[in-house]
A and B are shown apart, each in its own frame.
Chain A
Amino acid sequence: MTTISLPTAIDRRAVSGLTVEISDALAKGGALKLDGSAVQLVGQIGLQLLLAARKTASGRDARLSIETPSDAILTAAKISGTTDLLGLDTHDAA
């Protein structure tokens, strides 16, 4: 199992590196965990990256989960209506 720690801010600067990192990790197969505990800033770009990662995993029959999502992630997901699409536990939602 691979775990990638998401950065404090999932912004445009962070996204390009993360895209490659997550894509490579998914290519290896197996389960991929994204540790979201440190994330303090996530907007539409970050949400889109997480959704793209989920879609890629789904297309490759890989498992991808967001573990210990921070309040920032949960809030952004709730406000944007993407909690389910990101596979987040609605009970965790702030």
Chain B
Amino acid sequence: MQHDEIQQIFLLECDEGLDIAERSLLACKDGSGDAESINSIFRAVHSIKGGAGAFGFTPLQSFTHKFETVLQQVRDGDKPLTPGLLKTLIRAFDILTDHVSAIKGQADAPSDNAISAELEGIATGEIVPEEDSASTADPAPLPEAEPEATAEEESGREIAANDDADIDFDALLADLDVPESKEGGHVLHLRPTARALDNGSDPILLLRELHTLGATVRTVDASSVPDLDNFAAESAYLGWEIDVPASVTRAKIDEIFDFIGDACDLAIYVTGEEPRFVEQADPTVVKLPEAAPLAPTPEPEAPKVEPAAAPVPAIASIKPETAADPVSAPPAVNAVNSAAAAAPVATIRVDLDRLDRLVDTVGELVITQSMLAQRLSGAGVAAEDELSQLEYLTRELQDCAMALRAQPIRSVFSRVPRIVRELESETGKRVTLTVEGEATELDKTVIERIGEPLTHLIRNAIDHGLEPVEDRITAGKAAEGNVRLSAEQRGGHILICVADDGRGIDRARVFQKAVERKIVAPDARLTDEEIDNLIFAPGFSTAEQVSNISGRGVGMDVVKQAIQGLGGRVSISSEPGKGTVFSLSLPLTLAIADGMIVSSGGETLILPLNNVVESLQAKPEDLKRLTPSQHVINVRGSYLPVVPLTTSLGIGQIAEDSAQNVLIVVETESYGQIAIQVDAIQDQRQVVIKSLETNFRPITGIGGATILGDGRIALIVDVEALAAAAHSPKELDLAA
């Protein structure tokens, strides 16, 4: 394992530790915590400290040490966990999070002077946490959990970690360093057991492999070889002490003995640290003279008889503890083996590239399956059962492949408590955050891109949604405002809601601001929903003062764009005086979508089905000509712009008698409903989305491409871009 890989594991462990610590801190805050919560926080901080030391992240190590000291005092009952101290611990946790971000290169190192001084002062008793100094009331004791003190702690020694699953990064790095050393190599003490001779196996092959790498036998112990009267062919009597040069890495040695299992007693030592191999008074123990490594030996000619006797290492089990004598072996070697033995086996980490390739290949399989079905159907081959089964299996495989990319939304939601804490501090408002559905899974790409819009919605809910404490009390509400963040799967979508119990959207004020900013005309008659949606208009803000929380007038616009960019939608539900709910509807996956296959101007195109409201055959009296090239259609009293797909995308001419054409009414986020004019509807099916950006180049008006069942490529229409073009006379840039 390389240094970078070990460091990557450490960084992942940091994230997991922070997650555990935060949950435990919040449990303490809401009163559901117990002494085990403090134990968990201590363990997490202690583990991070250990890794930080191993990798030389000194500021992180130094800070965690101070943090850990106070946690240990709380854990040991030396200090009560008062509300004031809990606040300090939460602030320390936030700084710890910043430190971890810094070592990941995601942020600058935080300034921790103030909180460090506070932690040190609390540890020595010189500082009493702020809130507690005003109160003499005894804190409620935490329910007891099993104490976790160990003998090692009592002896005052540093311990690697209390958690058995922790990784000793020092040991891993020490192991990594050894083979890179040019100074010395390794010494092996090898004693094959009788099992090493089973099934044609032969330890001489191991010696031969080592020999080709320049290893030499230092000592051979033949003292156990009996005379012929007591000789047993199935027994192993020899043992070797072998010098392996520094040019051979420890990993290479491990590789050679990888499949040996318990067939050999093997101990690996750093040269100079090996114990005595055997007493050498016996003449059958030969200490060989030191010699330059022998030249690689040519493979012997294959035996002409007894082909079954060709020796191959055939033992599959691995016995890590045989790698070293627990008493005499150097600590680093032992530590590596124990770490390997304790390594969790429930999950594996896989390169994202490999996952993506799998998902991509499964996508191709879906297309091929569809092509096969169409071809067989066209040829009149009756294979319905087989095709049905193939389709079922393909869908199953596709679901499994997509699930591999899915991650729980917890990683995004976990940022929110800190944001809420910071906003409480900045606004003086008091907020109770409720988080639900953290285990809901979303595509990895969505997870990565949902963080920023979600953060802004939370900021908006607290900054604009919730009233100041005094206003809430005046309105007969609890002083603490409530913000609820939830996620759940609904059909093929994930619904994320950010709800507050604040004042609700002041529609009169929103409308007034929209008029002032010339977003709507003063005499415009808008529904409540339309007024609510004005807050997503670019440049809209009702904030009287621009703050660093929200109110720059760019946030909600960005939120909407980000969600749309993920193929999702944002909707608002608000009730004056009772609160507002922002609902984000996101697709489960970005790789597959339901599409309506249409033809227009001789081309086959796909309209995303989640945009389609209805399709209709236009009657001449429904169409009204606005300009020679622009029509609107009356759909149950509402006039919708008619957008011919042909001219919009530059793929042909509008049919002369447009009344004969089919109109697809689609819903867009920015421009409401439009009617897309096509020649005909062909089909409706799931399509595998291929990125144009990746495979060609971005084209305005086209969201991607797919391969149809007959092998033809069809472009997927970007309905939003089409609607935007319909509202401005400029033609789309398809040919650009």
Which A residues contact B (CB, under 8 angstroms)? Answer: 8-9, 11-13, 15-16, 19, 22-23, 26, 40-41, 43-45, 47-49, 51-53, 55-56, 59, 71-72, 75-76, 78-82, 84-85, 94
Contact = CB atoms under 8 A, between A and B. Distances in A.
16 contacts: A12-B309, A22-B228, A43-B311, A51-B238, A52-B226, A55-B226, A55-B227, A56-B227, A72-B301, A78-B294, A78-B297, A79-B208, A80-B217, A81-B219, A82-B238, A85-B220
Contact of A23 (B200, B211, B229, B297): B229
A83 to B, nearest CB: 9
B30 interface: no
Interface residues of B, number: 43
B257 interface: no
A11 B309 contact: yes
Given A13-B306, A13-B309, A80 B229 contact: no
B602 interface: no
A79 B300 contact: no
A49 B222 CA distance: 12
A47 B306 CA distance: 18
Contacts of A15: 233
A85 B286 contact: yes
A76 B229 CA distance: 24
B284 A16 contact: no
A25 to B, nearest CB: 10
A12 B228 CA distance: 14
B78 interface: no
B197 A45 contact: yes
A81 B220 CA distance: 6
B696 interface: no
A23 to B, nearest CB: 4
B298 to A, nearest CB: 8
B645 to A, nearest CB: 77
Contact of B297 (A51, A52, A53, A75): A75
B306 A11 contact: yes
Nearest to B283: A85
B204 interface: yes
B391 interface: no
Given A53-B228, A81-B219, 16 more contacts: A8-B306, A40-B300, A41-B309, A43-B203, A43-B204, A43-B205, A44-B238, A47-B204, A51-B238, A52-B226, A52-B231, A78-B294, A79-B207, A81-B286, A85-B284, A85-B286
Among B229, B300, B306, the most chain A Cβ lie within 10 Å of the Cβ of B300
B204 to A, nearest CB: 5
Contacts of B301: 40, 72
A51 B211 CA distance: 21
